[in-house]
Structure 1
Amino acid sequence: MKMFVEPADVYLYMDIVDFRKSINDLIVVVEQNMELNAFRDALFVFCNKKRDKLKILYWDKTGFALWYKRLEKHRFKWPVDANLQHLNVSEQQLQWLLSGYDVIGHQPLHYNASGL
């Protein structure tokens, strides 16, 4: 996903979200439920009950932006962990999620000059 920001962090909100919520409502979720500062250099990712839609909220230094993606035939492989309120993932894991892959169990690949 090409964005105008390069976030320091990416957070997945583990509970489902009513997608009638707009920017102001999602800010409340970030600050009250996730107990994080919505103005931080981060992406906050939310999923609906059917797991076929995502919303990504972020502060771009001039205002809040909301990115929305809907899948036509499939569902996102949203991680499930009843013990976590939110999950911090890498940008690569977010790319995998947006591409339909399971982000849990995947780790970014690192190569050195010798290819080992």
Structure 2
Amino acid sequence: MRTILFLFSAMGVVGLAYWAYMENFKTQTALSEVEQLQREISTARGRLGVLRAEWAYLNRPDRLRDLADINFDGLGLLPLTPDQFGYVDQVAFPEPELPPITDPIETMADTTGEAQ
């Protein structure tokens, strides 16, 4: 009986060791994937910074003004000035259309003025 108990205990220890090894392996794999993702995120952030710098460089007002002047014949673009802007209360918004009355309700009013 004692031998069987030792045998089951040894098998349990071996089984737990195998489980611990597999969990350790899964953890190491997950950690390496996280490191790879962090490297990719860092690279993407670096590219995003470069793209933002290029966008800011390409959208310089003096450059856009020069491009508008160069391409005036083809595009007809004019430079923006402050007097080209208006206020919201100057905008003529269309009046909303009222839907047609399809089911009118008949009401009767007491026109005699007497209380009942």
The answer, yes or no, to whether TM exceeds 0.5 is: no
The structure with the largest strand share of the pair is 1
Higher relative contact order (CA 8 A, sep 6+): 1
| Structure (1/2) with the larger helix percentage | 2
